[in-house]
Structure 1
């Protein structure tokens, strides 16, 4: 075999092939994204999830972090499942992603859909929302303790405005179970509709994010319970469930998803872009303005949290399905 400078011709050819492959891989990564990235938001325009998506749309436009713009596409309906199904079924090339929350697993638990977070690549989460319980400021209950006392004496009479099958339904169910009371659940819908149900005196309580509690607190609602480990800095006068001896905590991460099978290097590129954007003080402030703690949650923790949510939800499903009927 002929050798050039001590290197065989075959070895030189093989080495050149490897170098060519490596260059191709680098170029493939560098060429992503090659078109605008579609962001599917499973809500109507104007809500908190939609607003958060647009924070990153603006941030990436200003920094050119991905070299291509984000294009927000709203696909509301069916408790978010129209949008999540569209994310799942999109081409797994990194050019379609989506933003949602832990309703992804409660919808699966209720058999509304036949998939959960395992059907997606998890990019990460950009912000975590504290959750709490509110009632009408001029309603019949002035505290959650007062409400529990009444509920224990009158099973099934305290009504909860819910979106059946989503966390705003299941978390109050967990509260009732741990407190030893029975609530009655009424389908209301999203946050604005639950707010209307309370101020219209159609129902007694509902669950909201901290930002919604603050927003609606200016127009007729009163926060009576937080579901955080400690009192919220945003609502320091509102007791936690743990303070009342009810071992229930809950929070809601804002989770970025991609279709299963999206190449790992493209997921990493997206993840780095979101993580880097959150280091910008302006972006962090905008996220805080949505009532979210501005932290980036890595995918392993997101998956573990969703696993736990699913495990906490499944024991309640039979009861929830009876309510739904």
Structure 2
């Protein structure tokens, strides 16, 4: 898989709020109390101002972003693009350091961030696996273990096969998979790609067996090495390979054809219903203090909407789609409700 350069993330500047107190006008004897109240208010204001100044000291060192997948996949590439865009122009001149911590369908990395010191120096590359894993696996964290910083990508699902596959079109694939078991590679049990494959098999009555791993790069190796018949991936992870003929795209789960792979039809135009994809964004441990969280959110907003980051995403053929912290959290919460309805079926699949 072609190497793409790199980097990302993070989040923003601080705002401190303080509440003033007011007193009721009184008779002459009460004037000293009013003076005391005014003095207290001034003291409180001064303390809040000093606290706000202290808050701007964050961060005092580099910030680490844990990518819970192997290097080379879409989440890793997106994060490195974000880190590259950030450079030393944000976070008081400190850098964003990308660390891969793959395993367990993202559980290992997610658990590490959930349990990290909530000081704002450890962030998570946050994907739909954060929604799925607490519902489907025995994990020690929940959706509420994290606070979102923002979403930067929505990448539609795509079904791909190797060039020597006996089926070169979606119709040929469906005809074969209705009669024969097809081994489909995914980047982990209960990931958005696994769920999409289950939904696809259910809609068309297909016979799927799953080969789970920890990243798109491993999926590609398995596909090219003949270890599986097909793979359910994010479209952005396949653009280069489809373009040079390394793999064949059969159908994509977008409302319209993806501009970078215009010859791949959508499931909709093929008579199906699937519009599905993987989201990518960033989050911090839920216990991060509000003032630090504000810095992270505001800085992240600046980086994620910068020309440098958007251009980097376009050059890497990764679909850019931005949601701020609040909107991203609402979206993740809705995804949780949607996946919750599929839990019995997912727990019964391998």
Query: TM-score w.r.t. structure 1 length?
Result: 0.88
Higher relative contact order, structure no. (Cα contacts within 8 Å, ≥ 6 residues apart): 2
Q: Distance in 1 between matches of 2:229 and 2:161?
A: 6
Aligned to 1:102: 128
Aligned to 2:7: none
Are residues 1:60 and 2:86 paired?
yes
Instruction: Name the Cα RMSD after superposition.
Output: 2.6
SS in 1 for 2:269: helix
Aligned to 2:150: 124
SS in 2 for 1:178: helix
SS in 2 for 1:78: coil
Are residues 1:295 and 2:321 paired?
yes
Give the Å deviation of 1:316: 4.1
Give the Å deviation of 1:289: 2.9
Give the Å deviation of 1:226: 0.3
Q: CA 1:82–1:174 in structure 2 vs 1: closer, same or farther (change >3 Å)? A: same
Q: CA 1:125–1:226 in structure 2 vs 1: closer, same or farther (change >3 Å)? A: same
Q: CA 1:95–1:189 in structure 2 vs 1: closer, same or farther (change >3 Å)? A: closer
Aligned to 2:228: 203
Q: Distance in 2 between matches of 1:227 and 1:17?
A: 58
Match of 1:240 among 259, 263, 266: 266
Q: Distance in 2 between matches of 1:159 and 1:239?
A: 22
- CA deviation digits over 1:101-151, x for unaligned, max 9? 111122222214243322211111122223211011220111112211233
Q: CA 1:69–1:302 in structure 2 vs 1: closer, same or farther (change >3 Å)? A: same
Q: Note the residue ranges of structure 2 that are not aligned, 5 or more in a row.
A: 1-27
Q: Distance in 1 between matches of 2:337 and 2:38?
A: 56
Give the Å deviation of 1:222: 0.2
Match of 1:159 among 183, 192, 210: 183
C-alpha contact 1:129 1:291 (8 A) present in aligned 2: no
SS in 2 for 1:208: strand
SS in 2 for 1:244: coil
Q: Distance in 2 between matches of 1:275 and 1:236?
A: 31
C-alpha contact 2:62 2:97 (8 A) present in aligned 1: yes
Q: Distance in 1 between matches of 2:128 and 2:183?
A: 23
- CA deviation digits over 1:161-216, x for unaligned, max 9? 22322222111101111223332223344222222332333322211222321232
Which structure has greater helix proportion?
Answer: 1
Q: Note the residue ranges of structure 1 that are not aligned, 5 or more in a row.
A: none
Give the Å deviation of 1:2: 9.1
C-alpha contact 1:223 1:238 (8 A) present in aligned 2: yes
SS in 2 for 1:92: coil
C-alpha contact 2:69 2:214 (8 A) present in aligned 1: no
Query: TM-score w.r.t. structure 2 length?
Result: 0.82
C-alpha contact 2:193 2:278 (8 A) present in aligned 1: no
1:1-325 aligned within 5 A:
8-152=34-178, 154=179, 157-162=181-186, 163-217=188-242, 218=244, 220-324=246-350
